[in-house]
Chain A
Amino acid sequence: MTQQEPTSFYKQLQVSRHELDNGLKVLIRHIPNAPVSGCWTIYRVGSRNERPGITGISHWVEHMLFKGGGKLRKGDVGRLVSSVGGEYNGFTSKDFTAYFEILPADKIETGLMIESERMTNAAFDPREVESERTVVISEREGNENDPEFLTMEELFLTAFRFHPYRWSEGGLKQDLTRITRDDLFQHYRRFYVPSNALLVVVGPYPASKMLPKVQEYFGTLESSAKPPEPDVTEPPQNGERRVDLNLPSEADYIKAAYRTPAFGNEDIYPLMMLDAVLSGVRMFASGPGQASGRSTRLHRALVEKKIATQSSSEFWPTMDPSVFALDLTVWEGVGVDRAEKLLFEEIEKVQRRPPARHELDRALAQVKAQYSYALDGVARQGFLIGIFELVISFETMARLVERLSSVTPEMVSEAAQKYLTAQNRTVCRCVGIRNQNGT
């Protein structure tokens, strides 16, 4: 398929949508002559689907799905993929768990087989469960080495009092030591069903050739009722929440979170543009395609003026109401109070006065360019298509430029006035205890 200039993304992103009788949704993106194919399975389960006592269980289940079952012996996933130079991995977020294989185009069936086996035949050998317990704890402990991780974790634990978004995807250590094999298996059986999953295949095969293969591997899997959605609603926040940490750290950190609606609310688009105005667009690309944000407000006001070594905003569409986050690493010698004051002054500026039109135009240019970069190569496309489809729809991704183009500077300012208020804010600061760095 010839790629056009980035003016009509919907036409570029030709994806066919299908559904098997057992409820599995399938999206197929045909890229003629692609030498590589990608197979993504995305499950609608993440830390959002957990409760106190089993935090981290979704992530642990993800780990277990690399340990064989059915036609797959332990280690087969790695052996089958890496022996052809492919890439594979899985990851768990607050809303979803995703697995992928990127393979030479003629090996796509390896990916389909792996994904179909892991969907219903994972073994959960008790010895493997115990072995993986220390692995997930080790992963957690590696994160605990980082004071920024601890600060961010505290931010979310404070911003949310009830909703599962409060704990990190890896879970809390006290739960990781107590979760049982049966807990894991029940969680797997509940959420790893065709009707709760989405399969995305990207590569040189048209739907007419790929769909029969998908049917062959997945069509015989039993249908099950879709698991119920979590029913925890975080109550409104009625005042600012603050936490100050003193941790061993060679830098001071300030993190803030403002409660925001879920994807589907019309305010999402002005909030995305507000994020872009404050620190640039990162939605579609990583690595060389990622905008640096040096021309954006937070960088100019804080980093250029030596208040911060880095400062950014972050807003990702989520299934449930979540947060608009601010992040700052304080310049050495600058007090956290002063840095915080100047950070929030930037928010007040955009509340008082709408951004200039060129700031929005710049953001749109970045979205369009990053979209083009993401379409260069198979690897990232499947993920983007799948995530958008899971949260709302892949058409929304394709139409994102049109939706964002309709956002006016006034709408950005109004969104900032509505959501980025002190009453709606949680602030977590880490004042580091210096000079702990070893003998």
Chain B
Amino acid sequence: MGLDTDLPKLIEEHQPRAGVHCLLYRKEDNPTLAIYGSVRAGTAFESADRLGIAELISRILIRGTRKLRSLRLANQLESVGATLSFRNTQDNIIFQARTTSTWTQRVLGIISACLTTPAFDRRDVEREKEELLTDIRLRDDDTTRRGMKELHNLVYPSGHPYRRDRFGTPASVKKIDRDDVVEYFEETVSRAPVVVAFAGRLEKSKVLGWTEKTFGEREESPNPDKDSHTRPTKPESKEIVMGHKTQADVIMGAPAVGRTHSDYEPLNLANVILGELGFMGRLGERVRDREGLAYSCTSFLNSASIGGNWTALAGVNPRNVAKAMALMREEIDRICQQPVQPEELESAKQNQVGSALMELESTEGIARVGHNLAYFRLGLDYFAKRRNLYSKITESHLQEMAQKYIEASKLSTIVVGPKPKAASSEP
């Protein structure tokens, strides 16, 4: 047993106010402090006519508060080597900070001001809108990112919050004005549940006091979108031709499960074998290592709070698209039709156990892991429980999960890049 199973003894969990969870990991011999937190006000909570607003807000939060303009705020952080960033995800606006412990109070003060009294200067709103519009264009010109965005449209049904483009659309972003930003902040961000984890050198009473004062009362559980659990999609295939690119991306995917679903653990192990274990799993071993068709061929499971999706992708020369797709499908079929080998399953379990230990070796990792365990309500004893659960998961469980979620008839496919040509054995 190790640090992962000792977390309940090492991390303190507090709820200073309703809707606010705080985790503390004290390490006095470390002169730094890592902070990882979330406000449950990400893209999934936007209204349909203000797509992109959560992303916009996450970019503006660092741009100054009512008392601290952008440059002074930046200088206050950077003059002491501290960092603070905000980013938007499907579920949350995440905030992350790092500081040497000497400057903890200063950094906490800045985080508090950013999250409670942001300035939302009109010029900053317009400015960030322009940047976001540029980022949408850049994203849409990137074969991988464009393909991933399009895949979400195929695997999530209409109305599902995770189908939304985190960036919004050019039309929706242009429509957003400062009043919309302030409204979303006041109505959603300021009321949403908060989870924040601290790891490193800290004074418990000060940190808890700060958390309570900063976030106040929060709603325990926000209302998810009513259409969030909708009927399954019908798999489709799509091709996006980008004649000016050199390489094509092949992306396959299917709806999967949320993080706390009972199918998550065996499905995750199946994905580890298919796309991660060793050198990018079976997919990487077949498409890259054996056939030499791609620098990267892998898969991953994205599981969030109200659903998830599974994705496999490879970057290939256009003349090898058909061959790469066929090989990827063969490997997906194989894991569906035949149980994995016992040693593969054991390696996958050990991989996940060991990966957790790797992640916990730094205070930054502990803050992130502690936050995620609390956010998904998995419990600090999750890793110990998981070891026990793993002992009961068999090869047939994985096969059942593969058939249930990633069997060929459930897969949508996107190809993005120059027009595919016939497969060739030449480089």
Chain A residues near B (Cβ < 8 Å): 2-6, 34-36, 66-67, 74-75, 77-79, 82-87, 102, 104, 130-139, 141-142, 144-146, 177, 248-251, 280, 287-296, 300, 304, 306, 309, 331-332, 358, 361-362, 365-370, 372-373, 376-379, 433, 436-439
Contacts and interface: CB of A to CB of B under 8 A. Distances in A.
B347 interface: yes
A138 B78 contact: no
Given A104-B354, A138-B315, A66 B78 contact: no
B278 A82 contact: yes
A289 B83 contact: yes
B279 interface: yes
5 contacts: A78-B277, A135-B292, A137-B317, A362-B75, A373-B32
B289 interface: yes
A139 B289 CA distance: 13
B288 interface: yes
Interface size range of chain B in the complex: 35 or more
Given A377-B362, A437-B137, A358 B241 contact: no
Nearest to A362: B79
B427 A366 contact: no
Nearest to B73: A294
A86 B358 contact: yes
A6 B100 contact: yes
Nearest to A380: B362
B142 A145 contact: yes
Contacts of B241: 438-439
A304 B72 CA distance: 13
B130 A332 contact: yes
B294 to A, nearest CB: 5
Contact of A75 (B2, B137, B285, B417): B285
B355 interface: yes
Contacts of B127: 306
B81 A369 contact: yes
A308 to B, nearest CB: 10
Contact of B71 (A3, A292, A295, A373): A295
B137 A250 contact: yes
Given A362-B78, A362-B79, A369-B100, A300 B71 contact: yes
A291 B353 CA distance: 32
Given A35-B2, A306-B127, A436-B242, A177 B427 contact: yes
A399 to B, nearest CB: 18
Contacts of A295: 71, 74-75, 77-79
Contacts of A304: 70-71
B369 interface: no
A145 B75 contact: no
B376 interface: no
B62 A78 contact: no
Nearest to A76: B278
Given A362-B78, A368-B100, A376-B363, 19 more contacts: A3-B30, A35-B2, A36-B358, A78-B277, A79-B277, A82-B277, A138-B293, A138-B295, A142-B247, A250-B140, A288-B85, A289-B83, A289-B364, A295-B78, A296-B78, A361-B79, A369-B82, A373-B32, A437-B141
Contacts of B30: 3, 376
B62 A294 contact: yes
B290 interface: yes
Given A290-B83, A365-B79, A438-B146, A85 B353 contact: yes
Interface in B24-81: 29-32, 34, 62, 70-71, 74-75, 77-81
A133 B361 contact: no
B278 A132 contact: no
Given A75-B279, A290-B83, A377-B361, A84 B351 contact: yes
Contacts of A365: 78-81
A270 B109 CA distance: 34
B372 interface: no
A280 B78 CA distance: 9
Contact of A144 (B3, B80, B246, B350): B246
Given A142-B315, A250-B137, A304-B70, A135 B78 contact: no
A296 B80 CA distance: 14
B146 A332 contact: no
Contact of A84 (B78, B79, B350): B350
A368 B355 contact: no
A296 B353 CA distance: 42
B112 interface: no
A299 B288 CA distance: 41
- Interface centre among B3, B83, B276, B356, by most chain A C-beta atoms within 10 angstroms, is B83
Contacts of B29: 2-3
Interface in B211-254: 240-247
- Interface centre among B240, B247, B296, B364, by most chain A C-beta atoms within 10 angstroms, is B247
A203 B136 CA distance: 44
A34 B351 CA distance: 19
Nearest to A365: B81
A249 B141 CA distance: 8
A369 B316 CA distance: 41
B97 A288 contact: yes
B350 A85 contact: yes
Contacts of B97: 288
A66 B288 CA distance: 12
A135 B31 contact: no
Given A35-B2, A132-B292, A292 B85 contact: yes
A146 B244 CA distance: 10
Nearest to A33: B29
Interface string B257-277: 000000000000000000011
B357 A294 contact: no
Contacts of A369: 32, 80-82, 98-100
Contacts of A367: 81
Contact of A439 (B102, B240, B295): B240
Contacts of A66: 279
**Closest 10 pairs between A and B when the two form their complex, measured CB to CB:** A85-B354, A369-B81, A377-B362, A78-B278, A131-B292, A294-B74, A248-B244, A139-B295, A83-B347, A295-B74
Contacts of A309: 131, 134
A361 B78 CA distance: 10
B96 interface: yes
A4 B201 CA distance: 12
A178 to B, nearest CB: 11
- Interface centre among B80, B97, B279, by most chain A C-beta atoms within 10 angstroms, is B279
B78 A134 contact: no
Contacts of B347: 79, 82-83
A135 B294 contact: yes
Interface in B341-376: 346-347, 350-358, 360-365
Given A83-B347, A132-B292, A438-B240, A291 B83 contact: yes
B277 A138 contact: no
B238 to A, nearest CB: 11
Given A82-B351, A294-B74, A130 B292 contact: yes
A331 B99 CA distance: 32
A5 to B, nearest CB: 5
Contacts of B146: 437-438
- Interface centre among A138, A139, A370, by most chain B C-beta atoms within 10 angstroms, is A138
A36 B29 CA distance: 17
B36 to A, nearest CB: 8
Nearest to B354: A85
